[in-house]
Chain A
Amino acid sequence: MRIAGRGRIDRRSPVRFRFDGIDYSGFQGDTLASALLANDVRLVGRSFKYHRPRGVLTAGSEEPNALMTIGSGAGAEPNVRATVQELFPGLEARSQNRWPSLNFDLMAVNDLAAPFLGAGFYYKTFMWPRAFWERVYEPVIRNAAGLGALSGAHEPDRNEKAYAFCDLLVIGGGPAGLMAALVAARAGADVIVADEDSRMGGRLLAETFEVGGRPGVNWADNVIAELNAMDNVRLMTRTTVTGVYDQGTFGALERVSHHLAVRPEALPLETFWRIQARRSILAAGALERPVAFRNNDRPGIMTAGAVRAYLNRWGVCAGRRVTLFGNNDDMHRTARDLLSAGIHVVAVIDSRHDAPDGRGYRVYKGAMVCDSSGRRGLESVTVRSIGGEDRIATDCLAMSGGWNPTVHLTCHLNARPTWREDILGFVPTPQAVPGMSVAGACNGAFSTHDCLREGAAAARDTLEDLGLRAAAIDLPEAEDAPHAISPLWAVPGSGRAWLDFQNDVCVKDVRQAAMENFRSVEHMKRYTTQGMATDQGKNSNVAALAILADVTGRGIQDTGTTTFRPPFSPVSIAAMGAGAQGKGFAPERFTTSHKASAERGAPMIEAGLWYRPSYFPAPGESHWRQSCDREVNMVRTSVGVCDVSTLGKIDVQGPGAAAFLDFVYVNTFSTLKVGRVRYGLMLREDGHVMDDGTCARLGDTHFVVTTTTAAAGQVMRHLEFVHQCLRPDLDVALTSVTEQWAQFSVAGPRSRDLLNAVLDNPIAVKDWPFMACGQVFVGGVQARLFRISFSGEQAYELAVPARFGDSVFRILLDHAEKIGGGPYGLEALNVLRLEKGFITHAEIHGRTTAFDIGMDAMVSDKKDCIGKAMSRRPGLTDPDRERLVGLKPAGEVQLLVAGAYLFSPGDDPVRVNAQGYVTSVAFSPTLGHMIALGFLRNGPARHGERVRMIDHLRGLDATCEVVDPVFLDPEGERARD
């Protein structure tokens, strides 16, 4: 029911919306919850387990009942709290967890079965048969007990991540937070104020108090206006600080455009912030707790503070005949505000014998509400007092069990809150979060005066830490009522009295848990599911603790709380993972020849983040093998061009460069002549192979190291480690130049012809022997040429500054094609290297040693190097280790596969008998059969033997002959040609 003259809504802007297919009207400034209440919609959802009818309980983000699905189609958002969702024109909301409809929910039979559905029900009932759990019980339970569901479609909305830095983060924009922000901002601090509400002001928006002689909300608006005008202040509304992390890092969720009917293209739906603050002030306020009594969960039963908020902020009353029930003075404010708005207050039922007298309303002192009735909403309550039981007709019960300081964020770094008996609430333990001060209601200081005072004081302390001076500031006058309360957690009596509304946990469930010896609060929580719903027990945890404390005979402090973890309120995975959908999941690295390769229809293969052409299909080719075989033949008979820029390139310069390389490679580089290249092998310090590659000496103190594509980052980091941590005495500088140089392999008997067609000055055979390197020019551009070969053919690698990569690649292909050559891809590159027995990370996979790959002779005796000491361990040099061999088919089955295991022919092919394994395979068009590299026990001594290759997964069994890993041109004459 809308109340004339009340509320801070814009009555000139009506807003049409729809709930469960029915059209309603509210106003700009309404939440979905206030608009529904204004339209007398009380039944808004069904509970999780018993499917009980439920109405709006609160007016904030702690709402456990009014969860709805907003919108439709792919972007429909489930489990939105109607108390948080701002109304906008055309908003479409649907209730959840009911079938077929909210008013007639078939699953409500669960409520009749309630005696069997108590705490531990699932654990006790679905024990056997075991296999039934997965196939029968779990699907059925999940189907029956659920919240809203996602659409299952791809998320159509865009979310963002953002970062912010400040001197002071103020969490909460109520009286304490605004006062703190004002003091800090006037002193020049860089301040962020984050508040989860759509406007700042906090509780002042929901009250009729005066601050500084004018309505509190006007005071707040003035402060907000002053803060807004300052460059050093950022006010973030609709922003919930969700988590506290180490060293002043905060997570925060900003709901950017959930409240907009039409979302501008530029705006994300939500932004997940990381805020880095030197200091913080928590001014998060407090949350009111319900009282547990029989049937306290009917629609129409709400917290007293929420009833007051709906009246004062939204001009809505949740009923026409309102009754109040509680244990404290604060709820009397609700009675007074209702009366002054002309609403009929039936009675205030105050559990305290010394309760204050009513001012214009009846007070039952020392009385309690012990039951309620009404089918889909409250119709009456039963009051128990010394005089007996009375039934009172009422359509709204405003209840208050006191207020819980919102301490959650102070516990995210593992601190526990402290119980204060005088306010019957937990408050933050001092120094719970380094650099965080606490002010106002979240600190147990409930009066407006205390909030303002603590806010200002916290700001002054903070400023001192920040080295700033606070100007003197007069605190505005405000109410300073004491927090008068006496304990009332659960009204004695039979029947179900709800604690956790969303998860349907009742007082008797907590008692039963304790009786069954789940007495630790953490055990009770898990046994009953108390506090495990989306509100994380914000409405119910403290009462549940109090009841557990009572049953177990311990104090509340000793009983302790469960652990509060981030997030404070739900955060969608879409917001946390913003930007990481689809192509955003991993960056793509493209070589400079990418476009030219794509134009030729080359399918790409991912190599780490790189995209490399797999093969270049020629007209008429329909299978990758046709292209690959052709490209291999092309390189072996003419010339091929392949982009090898993805290999890591590390520039090593300085007087200490040669000594440094001697230390990181097993072999020696100080003896390498300028203008020459050498193959090098690096070990890890544990003696296993890290990586291999070439190292070229461009000058006396200038080398270029190449790494494999996969290990480029790892090797760079390793070299920096060795230099900075182990050999800082060496004067050497390391720079990754992988991205700076485009590098192309030009391989094949006609490679020199191709180069001479492209280079500004032809190269002479005598000047460019195998493993030479030096400077050349292409179209006037200074380039580097390396005569190295990964194919076994006469070959070169031409490196040009990356900006020329695209054009040089195209020029090379143009000329190559004129002489019967062309581009080749990664598949052909792999076949070419396998035919030559060259290894890749398929072979140096982290468990192989230099000995295993037949390179132990490279480990220099004349110097120390990384990994040398450990590589000499007996276990790493045992001849019976699995060592590199070549394999070729020697039986009927000609197919070889990588990953298969090797067995001696007579052995049972089981794991314990495995003699080795296959690492790489390819069909060799040069040899006309498949070839493989693998590791075999004592392999080098077994050339000529037969072994069985068995792949248990693919059901393959092939006889192989063990051969030398170099299948082609073992003398290496072609490369030297």
Chain B
Amino acid sequence: MWAILSIRVENKPGILFKVTHLFRARNFNIDSISVGVMENPEFSKMVITTVGTEKQIAQIVKQLDKMIDTIEVKRLDEKESVYKELALFKVKLSDASDSAEINKLANTFGAKIHNEQENSLIVELTSTPDEIKSFEESIKSFDILDSARTGVTAL
């Protein structure tokens, strides 16, 4: 089972370390993680996606809640929340027609093109992990030189 955890923490050094350490020490998995300061700079929001049994996920939530640095821990409902991830792919342009084809593909997924050069470009897609996966599958027929993902963030 896949779960999205939204964790509001005090914006202090060392907390990311403690949260990730908790996952390791308790034998839980981190699927993705994203962190940013909130509108009130006293707090940061961490969004962690994780995979486990129902019982494990309930236990992760409780252990995170128990941490003194966490203010609020929520498990977000996939259906009722917005969850997105940003992915960047650097793609090689081998043929003259590649650029047009990639642009077309990007259009259908709502992705943006950046840094177009003679032999490469960067595609940016903000979407759900599933959509990003299928975009990745489609673009695989071109040569992916490099890629990076931010991890899921959610509200």
Do A and B truly interact?
A: no
Q: Which residues of B contact A (CB under 8 A)?
A: none
Q: Which residues of A contact B (CB under 8 A)?
A: none
